[in-house]
Amino acid sequence: MDFLAAPFWDWVSTQLMKIKFVSKWLDKSPHTSDNREFLRHYVENSNQKSIWLPVTKQIILIGNYSGVSDIFRSFLNKLNTKGELIIIDAYFFHPPSGGREIGEYSRLVVEILDKHLFDLSTILFVTKEKYNIEVKESIFRAIKGVNPDIHLKNATSKEYHDRFWISNNRKSGFFTGTSLNSISMKYSSICVMDEEDVEVIVTTLYENQLLD
């Protein structure tokens, strides 16, 4: 039974080791400063020269504001963003936390959207009814500065707690545990959504008359 030979068990051992170290990382042990440190720790402790992990979820650490645009952009790149992007985030148009300037926050939004701004014709923001008009106008100006022809819409609702980014003809998306305006102030996560979950959220948008 060749499949029970030593190479097979070596492979099993490697997979179990990956699970072990990923579990420790998610439990905040070993104590790592960022995800690169976790990967370095894994490689050093498992005698592996490389590691492949499907990036469908990621932890955003406290204070990692400089890495936020790269993290969000990597998840946005997984979506087919041609045409429309829906961003459901109750506090998207609220002043940024941590003493950050509104202009800095607006630049972050543009850095995340990046090249996708040229593929999009419409961005729909679903936020709370009460928001900061200065923040909204600053973000809209920053986006229009890159793509003047893009159509920016704002609908309001109090029905959504988590934050959802949906595109690809309303079939793909990811969600985050905290609003972009306060990102990296506390530990949070960002995860790819199952297609079925995206369908559920899109259905609620229709039911709440937030989509045409």
Q: How far apart are CA 116 and CA 166, in angstroms?
A: 13
pLDDT tens for each residue of 98-133: 889 999 999 999 999 999 999 999 999 999 999 999
Q: How far apart are CA 105 and CA 204, in angstroms?
A: 29
Give mean pLDDT, residues 83-93: 97
Q: How buried is residue 107: exposed, middle or buried, by Cβ count under 10 Å (0-12/13-18/19+)?
A: middle
Task: Check residue 56 and give its pLDDT.
Answer: 84
Q: How far apart are CA 122 and CA 85, in angstroms?
A: 6
Domain range annotation of the chain: 1-53, 56-207
Task: Check residue 64 and give its pLDDT.
Answer: 81
- pTM of the predicted model as reported, rounded to 2 decimal places: 0.74
Task: Check residue 1 and give its pLDDT.
Answer: 46
The pLDDT-based confidence of 41 (bands split at 50, 70, 90) is low
The pLDDT-based confidence of 20 (bands split at 50, 70, 90) is very low
pLDDT tens for each residue of 58-82: 888 888 888 899 999 999 998 888 8
User: What architecture is the 56-207 domain classified under in CATH?
Assistant: 2-Layer Sandwich (3.30)
Q: DSSP letter at 93?
A: T
Structure tokens at 47: 């005698």
Cβ contacts of 111 within 8 Å, gap of 6 or more: 69, 73
